[in-house]
């Protein structure tokens, strides 16, 4: 089990990607990962697909991008983000579930609970 270095007194969990130096907000209640359109050179055109914020307002989307991320755990992550009109990058429950990560709200840390195993030869050959 490994934990990232993410002490933050605000009550929100932000973890910085070591590759891009971008800070990501981890929201366990978000269904998917979202990346701000404003941070991209090519902004794309609005798609018919829309998201809804927690307060019920509509959020416009502009396609998807795949990012490679390193949060200081023992592995790197590759994930597809929806590009949208949001203020900052958000990691949602889709990413957390797929990579078997936990958000520790009390200690303000991201925890990798992946168990590494090696299957041996049962016959001893």
Domain ranges of the chain: 2-112
pLDDT of residue 121: 66
Mean pLDDT of the chain: 85
Helix (H) or strand (E) holding 95: helix 93-98
pLDDT of residue 53: 87
pLDDT of residue 54: 85
pLDDT of residue 105: 82
pLDDT of residue 122: 67
Cα-to-chain-centroid distance, residue 97: 10
Strand partners, 102: 111
pLDDT of residue 20: 95
From residue 41, give the alpha-carbon distance in Å to each of 31, 36, 44: 26, 11, 9
pLDDT of residue 77: 96
Q: Does CATH place domain 2-112 in 2.40.70.10?
A: yes
- Going 18 to 20 to 25 to 28, the CA torsion angle's sign is negative
Q: Which residues of the chain have pLDDT under 70?
A: 1-10, 43, 46-48, 115-125
């Amino acid at each position: 089990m490994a934990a990232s270095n993410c002490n933050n007194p605000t009550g929100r969990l932000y973890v910085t990607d070591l590759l891009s130096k971008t800070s990501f907000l981890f929201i366990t209640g978000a269904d998917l990962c979202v990346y701000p359109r404003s941070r991209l050179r090519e902004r794309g055109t609005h798609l018919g697909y829309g998201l809804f914020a927690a307060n019920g307002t509509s959020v416009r989307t502009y396609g998807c991008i795949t990012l490679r991320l390193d949060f200081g755990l023992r592995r790197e992550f590759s994930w597809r983000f929806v590009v949208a009109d949001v203020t900052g990058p958000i990691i949602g429950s889709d990413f957390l579930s797929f990579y078997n990560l936990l958000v520790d709200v009390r200690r303000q840390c991201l925890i990798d609970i992946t168990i590494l195993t090696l299957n041996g030869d049962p016959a001893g050959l």
